[in-house]
Structure 1
């Protein structure tokens, strides 16, 4: 079949429309995936709570994903998408995608075999703070879930290849299908008592979707089996590793950060590892719904003539939304956790652990939301090494905070809070490094300072509401109203021209409808 070739000179305005459609598709898919992920976490909280089984499953996820970090972390789309975009212009994109997918999948097979061979040692290294029963349970999970490692890498490659085509089908399906399968596994676990079904659900989801992705892209002509020749596979693999070399510190920094965090959490007590993921269920909304789709849209487009204008246009609305929302979570974290998770097997101890983690992460949530978008802006201009340095520095800061506070984590009741604050430090360093790497750093700093005003108003209003109002739902309703009001205030001071245009449009629409009557 003839491979699709992207026209480099489309009609005026169509590239922007295409990017907007793709970003909208990514955001829509992220929203569906987030809703399903939220349902998954609710189901897990109901069935498992902050228990040893929940900790074991999360620990197993870490154990199998850590070795794959350099094959499917954020640097992979940063390399693959521009490369596939260029291959489309040359006309060999299907062959290149197939060759690279095979090369990285073979590497994943080697890593899978290594994890299986060193399973017990590897589990002890990742979650050594677990009790013996917890480590044995984690190892059982790892034996099964490792069978999905090659499919996970292949799926990541295919999804990046689709984004280069301006489509987001596999990206959107990946999270959704995984969440559905995990929920099915949880239901089967509750019905049968077999905890291994949870691990099999994970493995089946990745292998099934990867097989379908290969078939679908091959049928459409975007994946050619001609690219699976050994010579092309070797060439594509070496080319990818060569491009990855400037970014190689990134996956290792990410691995070390995740490992240190999981190890520290496993030493605090049962339920801490699970509570961190429950908290991230709430905070990851910003990444999945805003940072990731907008960042991928920026990455898939060619740099505009006026880079400063685009950066400011992206930063202002993100800050207007994220700063007050972060302040809301800092104040109302215990109430949010209680409302969302406190039922079934999720006990009061789970509320305490999860709300501490959520409060710590929320301190820097606004910074990570904007920081990831700015990092993609650096990638889109070819400054991959600079972007990698910023991210590595951020991970190093997180590791340093976690190690420096390790004693306090185990001797005080604030262990999860300290781990959450470690992530907040990472977010702040990420944003600071990205801002310093851009030419419009002064303007971005001014926008952040302006946006801190409405966030401070939200903090003050939130503490007042907490002290004066009784009842969980009324307190959260009042806090949400204050959050919306401060978001509107932030939009007014950060985007005055846009707000005036929106108000004028609303006014004109209302006047026209009244006249037609």
Structure 2
């Protein structure tokens, strides 16, 4: 699992660095303008219907089942792949047709607060990005097939390739003053990704043509796949419905808020992509082979260092969010007003960052143990909490409601999943100490009043000094650090 995590982590790190560069360029060239808001809305409009039938089917259904089949019956593994590939091909064709024909109506629902010009531009972007949907889906399937063989090259490179395409699109759109090139960057990136993935799996001969495939085999595989994913059928509706609700609330709060939302989420999502996603995906193929006792022992060893890394980061990001955004984005068309608006949204996401990372890993562990009924119930409660907060409080809290809702989602999901996996006793004691430390850090940081570069250096030094001293002073946290170093020395 460690080797798989490291490969995915390195890919995620490269992808995140490319993503940061992409967002910095977008902020400098177009700021929080209507063009950026339209691009964000078009990406959501394109990917929401796609993720209805890909996200959980591939991660929680296809990958664990394919991994098991491959060890026991390669013929059934091949049958599963070709059956899934046929379903996804049909679904992608229908999705493209619906996007091209229904874009005006779909955009009206997704971003009700947009004006006529922003809606028209969003529709144009959707029509271009929609052409990339079949390639997006195919590339995803190829990457999960590769993971089923213990290789993570496609999965680790996906984010980097998407960002590279969108960087090229951003530069071309700015240089040629053609906004449509922003969307073409997304589509062309996934055409290349799918072609590359197809070439890799053909070269490895992982899925030979189904010459001897029998109808009985397909039916048997389909029944078992359906048994696994049936509890998760409604999860994509909840997840994508939450994205739609979040995007709609952002548009009601103004075009600037809609554009700033993704600038804030890029920062908060960094940890999820760097730590949670590699751990979660590696765990799907690793924990699925473990007994319940082995899975519990693995998670009990994993959670303390994960909390030690993420809780201080959450607090530091929340306290210093203004400086973080100014360093990353504030240049060109991204002015002080854009910085303030993004910081308001980021604060709530930062407070709940640790919970989203930890809960993602635990939910993937539940899926690996085929406990998808619990996954659905837990995610339903967490997502509904987020949606209710967004719609009921957006007039009161303004743009900050988006981050507050995201924080609530992570905390609720963490509590429910940790209790279900019996690791709550491991989590709660450490969280109590880390919460106390976070309050102390936030209050003590009020004394750091420097401005500009000197103030940033003072804040960074105080962050490091405070948390080193606090963790050293608390016996249970100090013991966790010693255990981490002991395991690292043993492993190396």
| Aligned residue runs from structure 1 range 112-511, under 5 A | 112-226=96-210, 240-301=225-286, 302-304=289-291, 305-408=293-396, 414-465=397-448, 469-489=449-469, 492=472, 493=474, 494-500=476-482
Query: 3-state SS of the aligned residue for 1:71?
Result: coil
Residues 298-318 of structure 1: per-residue CA shift (max 9 Å, x gap) = 211122534333222111111
Segments of structure 1 that go 5 or more residues without pairing to the other structure are 1-18, 409-413, 508-517
Q: Answer yes or no: is the 8 Å Cα contact 2:173–2:179 preserved in 1.
A: yes
Residues 265-292 of structure 1: per-residue CA shift (max 9 Å, x gap) = 1111122112110011111111011111
Cα deviation for residue 39 of structure 1 reads: 0.5
1:78 corresponds to which of 36, 42, 60: 60
Whole-angstrom CA distance in 2 between matches of 1:64 and 1:484: 42
Cα deviation for residue 227 of structure 1 reads: 7.6
Whole-angstrom CA distance in 2 between matches of 1:363 and 1:125: 30
Q: Report the CA distance shift for 1:295/1:228 in structure 2 as closer, same or farther (over 3 A).
A: farther
Whole-angstrom CA distance in 2 between matches of 1:402 and 1:293: 29
Q: Report the CA distance shift for 1:478/1:250 in structure 2 as closer, same or farther (over 3 A).
A: same
Cα deviation for residue 87 of structure 1 reads: 1.8
Q: Answer yes or no: is the 8 Å Cα contact 1:67–1:111 preserved in 2.
A: yes
Residues 322-371 of structure 1: per-residue CA shift (max 9 Å, x gap) = 11111111111111111210101112221111101111111111111111
Q: Answer yes or no: is the 8 Å Cα contact 2:63–2:145 preserved in 1.
A: yes
Cα deviation for residue 242 of structure 1 reads: 4.8
Whole-angstrom CA distance in 2 between matches of 1:391 and 1:402: 16
Segments of structure 2 that go 5 or more residues without pairing to the other structure are none
Q: Report the CA distance shift for 1:280/1:91 in structure 2 as closer, same or farther (over 3 A).
A: same
Q: Report the CA distance shift for 1:491/1:372 in structure 2 as closer, same or farther (over 3 A).
A: farther
Q: Answer yes or no: is the 8 Å Cα contact 1:59–1:138 preserved in 2.
A: yes
Deviates more, 1:212-221 or 1:444-453: 444-453
TM-score, reference length from structure 2: 0.92
Q: Answer yes or no: is the 8 Å Cα contact 2:430–2:477 preserved in 1.
A: no
TM-score, reference length from structure 1: 0.88
Whole-angstrom CA distance in 2 between matches of 1:315 and 1:503: 15
Q: How large is the Cα RMSD of the aligned pairs?
A: 2.4
Whole-angstrom CA distance in 1 between matches of 2:116 and 2:198: 41
Residues 452-472 of structure 1: per-residue CA shift (max 9 Å, x gap) = 23222321222221xxx2313
Cα deviation for residue 420 of structure 1 reads: 1.0
Q: Answer yes or no: is the 8 Å Cα contact 1:324–1:486 preserved in 2.
A: no
Whole-angstrom CA distance in 2 between matches of 1:335 and 1:343: 13
1:16 aligned residue: none
- How many residue pairs were aligned? 481
Q: Report the CA distance shift for 1:471/1:256 in structure 2 as closer, same or farther (over 3 A).
A: same
Whole-angstrom CA distance in 2 between matches of 1:430 and 1:482: 32
Cα deviation for residue 489 of structure 1 reads: 4.7
Query: 3-state SS of the aligned residue for 1:97?
Result: helix
1:45 aligned residue: 27
2:86 aligned residue: 102
Q: Report the CA distance shift for 1:505/1:228 in structure 2 as closer, same or farther (over 3 A).
A: closer
Whole-angstrom CA distance in 2 between matches of 1:112 and 1:505: 49
Deviates more, 1:66-75 or 1:498-507: 498-507
Deviates more, 1:93-102 or 1:173-182: 93-102
